[in-house]
Amino acid sequence: MGKIIDDLPQWEPHTPIQGGFITTKFNELLGWARKFSLFHYPFVTACCGMEYMSAACAHFDIDRFGAGWTRFSPRQSDMLLVVGTVTQKMAPVLRTVYNQMTNPKWVVAFGACAVSGGIYDNYAVVQGIDRIIPVDVYIPGCPPRPETVLDALVKLQEKIQKHEQEWRWKSK
Amino acid sequence: MAMEKQIVLKDLQEKFGSEISKTDLQFGDDILHIKKEALIPIVNFLRQAPYEFTMLLDLTCVDYLGEEDRFEMVYHLFSLKNNLRLRIKTRLKESDLKIDSITSVWKNANWLEREVYDMFGVEFEGHPYLKRIFMYDGFEGFPLRKDYPLRKRQPRLPLK
Amino acid sequence: MSFRIQKEARQESMLLNMGPSHPAMHGTIRIMLELDGERILNAELEVGYLHRGFEKTCENRTYFNLLPYTDRLNYVSPLINNLGYVMTLEKMLGLQVPEHAQYIRVIMSELSRISDHLTCLAAMAMECGAFTVFLYKIKAREFIWDFIERTTGARMTTSYVRIGGVRANLHEGWREDLIKAIQETRTVLKDVHALLDKNKIFLNRTRDIAVVSPEMAINYGWTGPCLRSTGVYYDVRKAHPYLVYDQLEFEVPLGERGDNYDRYMVRMLEMEQSLRLIEQAMDKLPDRSPAQELNLEGIEPAEAIKISRRKKPGQKIKLSPNLEGMEKENYPLILANDPRYIMPPKEDVYTTIEGLIRHFKYFMKGHGIRPPKGEVYFSVEGGNGELGYYIVSDGTDKPYRLHLRAPCFHIVSALEEMILGHYIADVIPTFGSLNMIGGELDR
């Protein structure tokens, strides 16, 4: 075995909304605010990066969905967009970037290689990033069309609306 | 004055006749099979005028599993002035997997030889920094050899 | 982990890591710098974060099956990678490609080259702060990709160039689409020339930075636009002409100084030459394909199979819309005439037994394309330089060894020496002008 690095704390999946009327309404308000202002961190590695560039530019704009601002720092972003193949050499880097992001955070696996290893089933490629970090939305395609990316963004926004939000003074 | 390929081969045969085992012509490409000790002298000879093979296009290795001389190093040289290509091949045994490095002649051989070391395990004597280039540092084994399975997993992180 | 730079670093200097997750959209390279203030004293590169095992995978796939893997090498100009692989095989098999297919290949090749240069310069300009240039160039690229999609079916990873020719003839109405794409590209190029060529900020960031002399470039094995920017005249399309490039007229722009600005300028001028080539090739192609000329009503495939049990059906068979451009009438134009290495037309497969057997044997493991024993090397002019394939065949249907001569491997290996003595901020435009593509660098 090569050198193994393991430093991920236990992660908790997003849960559906529970609670009384006011908490639920406040939850929905937070969800509405968060879903329409997603700052994403594009973890671009391979060919899908070209389709990411197309989706972010003038023809198929993701700015219309509120996700236009690319924050080039994990600390400042809340959506991690893993674009392209993740190899065994790159895996600890992805884990470090995920750890550095602050809550709440969502992960989108973009492209067949990020979803399941794609057409590369060999010694060097991680067969899907959900073996390393938890994923919220999977976008299939090699590479996916920009319309697919926008559809996935809408689905992520619906998911954000529906699940339990975290806020600082919430009593656990 | 453009040089003809036949003249180059004839001159090489005259000067290094003993080290060249054979010359070949396959699908229009000229191939030169040499002994591994003669690599640096031949390469230096080809580099000067009038042959001027000034560019190293490629450097790679092929694994013939089962044969006694298992590994074969392949060098592609190119002459800009005369527009000629030449392929030089030499065989290595598995027990003696060392060959001279040509980093002193061409600088891109640095990374190319690191790649061959990473993928096949061939050691280059005189290389300034022979370290793995594609695989991560703790990787065990040499992936492109024929006895390394394609789907063997060696994760760097514990995977779920 | 012990890196050379850690051992060589001096006590007073600072080690900075520009890590693998690069925001500059180039993918995955790690640059480690030893700095004195902002000046770079020493540099080391770590690559291999996108090594996907292309060469090992190819040893386990048949010659036909590994075509999609070649698309994903230099992913900004995928049709050129396809072309390189297919032409290497054709050299080994001795196939003669029809002229119509060669012109289509030239058009697709040049469109890919334009797309490559657009993406490279767009990323380089964006990192220097010119965000408008990025948006304009990606807009032009969309029109090119629209044309490619209507003919090949996919925007990027197309697998369009096949052994013996191309997959399908150009789509109906291709001339208007192509003229529109060319027009949009010309407008964008004119705008970008106006925005960047004499821009003081851009000039300060790129003029006289990372100067490369011709001797250094040749020693490092550089080819392509980066080599031409130093003044050396080497273009594979002129030196070893392939396809129909010897019958078309185009110029090869050369630089003078070999700095970042020359690399940018050579690429901009090359795009204009590529547009010229496309227009010349466009003139040589007829407007409509033979299948469109016939314009007869066809019968459904199921009906044709029923009729063929007793006799050959007289009428034309209606194929699925996915197979548009591959009709039997198009075959002499787009594919070579060699039954050993070419797929039979679908009309024959459905209705004759010989066609069915030929189709089976083409795809069966152990049969199909089996080149003679031996090895071959062939190269084409990729977006970055000389893209070469070295194939060793042992007579079976899988390649014994397939090696790619990646142009940007040699170009990027010179980066460590190029940025010594410059500032950190110079690393960004230098790296952008080299056009590093991770899929090709790491294979």
Q: Where are the domains of chain C?
A: 290-363
Candidate from A4-8, A66-70, C72-76, C314-318 with smallest mean pLDDT: A4-8
Residue B57 is assigned to a structural domain of this protein: yes
Axis-axis angle for helices A48-56, C131-152 (nearest 10): 120
| Statement: the pTM of the whole predicted model exceeds 0.80 | yes
Domain A40-161 adopts which CATH fold? Answer: Rossmann fold (3.40.50)
> What pLDDT was estimated at residue B26?
83
- Interface with C, mutate which of A89, A100, A148 (most C CBs under 10 A): A89
Give the model confidence (pLDDT) of B63-114 as tens digits: 998 888 889 999 999 988 888 888 999 998 888 888 989 998 898 899 999 9
Look at residue B107 and tell me if it is in a domain. no
Tell me the C-alpha distance between A83 and A49, whole Å: 6
End-to-end Cα separation, chain B, in angstroms:
65
Tell me the three-class secondary structure of chain C, residue by residue: CCCHHHHHCCCCCEEEEECCCCCCCCCCCEEEEEEECCEEEEEEEECCCCCCCHHHHHCCCCCCCCHHHHHCCCCCCHHHHHHHHHHHHHHHHCCCCCHHHHHHHHHHHHHHHHHHHHHHHHHHHHHCCCHHHHHHHHHHHHHHHHHHHHHHCCCCCCCCEECCEECCCCCCCHHHHHHHHHHHHHHHHHHHHHHHCCCHHHHHHHCCCCCCCHHHHHHCCCCCHHHHCCCCCCCHHHHCCCCCHHHCCCCCCCCCCCCHHHHHHHHHHHHHHHHHHHHHHHHHCCCCCHHHHHCCCCECHHHHHHHHCCCCCCCCECCCHHHCCCCHHHHHHHECCCCCCCCCCHHHHHHCHHHHHHHHHHHCCCCCCCCCCEEEEEEEECCCCEEEEEEEECCCCCCCEEEEECHHHHHHCCHHHHCCCCEHHHHHHHHHHCCCCHHHHHC
Pairwise CA distance, residues C218 & C169, whole Å: 40
Which pLDDT score, from 0 to 100, does residue A69 have? 80
The token pair that represents C324 in the structure block: 């548009």
Q: Would B114 be classed as within a structural domain?
A: no
A88 touches chain B (CB under 8 A): yes
Chain B and chain C share a number of CB contacts under 8 A equal to 91
CA dist A19 and B146 (Å) reads 61
**B135 contact A CB<8A:** yes
CATH of the domain at B45: 3.30.460.80
Find residues 109-148 of chain B whose CB sits inside 8 Å of chain C.
Answer: 110-112, 119, 129, 131-137, 143-144, 148
Contact C221 B56 (CB under 8 A): yes
- Cβ C145 vs Cβ C177: under 8 Å: no
What's the CA gap between A67 and A81, in Å, rounded? 11
Residue B87 domain boundaries: 5-96
ipTM of the complex in this document: 0.93
Nearest CA in chain B to C90: B27
Asked if A59 and C139 come within 8 Å (Cβ–Cβ), the reply is yes
pLDDT (tens digit per residue) in C86-113: 999 999 988 889 999 999 999 999 999 9
The SS3 assignment for A161 reads helix
Tell me if B111 and C57 make a contact (CB, 8 A cut-off).
no
Among candidates A46, A49, A93 on the partner chain, residue whose Cβ is nearest the Cβ of C21 = A93
- Residue A1 pLDDT class (50, 70, 90 cuts): very low
Q: Which residues of C touch A46 (CB under 8 A)?
A: 27, 50, 52, 72, 75, 438-439
pLDDT (tens digit, 9 = 90+) per residue, B110-160?
A: 999 999 999 999 999 989 888 889 988 888 889 999 888 888 888 877 776
CB atoms within 10 A of CB C282: 17
Could you read off the pLDDT of C23-49 as tens digits, one per residue?
765 778 888 888 888 889 989 989 989
C35-92 per-position pLDDT tens digit: 888 889 989 989 989 999 899 999 988 998 889 999 888 899 999 999 999 999 999 9
Q: Which chain B residues are Cβ-neighbours of C4 within 8 angstroms?
A: 129, 131
pLDDT digits (tens, 9 = 90+) for A30-48: 888 888 888 999 898 888 8
pLDDT of A150 over the 70 cut: yes
- Quote the CA–CA distance of C252 and C403 in Å, as a whole number: 28
- Tens of pLDDT, residue by residue over C402-435, are 999 999 999 999 998 888 989 988 888 898 899 8
Q: Do B136 and A88 touch (CB under 8 A)?
A: yes
Could you tell me if B131 lies within 8 Å of chain A, comparing CB atoms?
Answer: no
pLDDT of residue C142: 92
Residues lower than pLDDT 50 in chain C: none
Which of chain A's residues have a Cβ under 8 Å away from the Cβ of B159? 91, 126, 131-132
Residue C25's pLDDT is 56
pLDDT band at B1 (very low <50, low <70, confident <90, very high): very low
Mutation site for C-interface testing, chosen from B5, B54, B58, B135 by largest number of C Cβ within 10 Å: B58
How many CB atoms are located within 10 Å of the residue C356 CB? 14
B156, B136 contact by CB (below 8 A):
yes
Q: How far is CA A136 from CA A69, A87, A110, A115, A144, in A?
A: 20, 20, 11, 11, 17
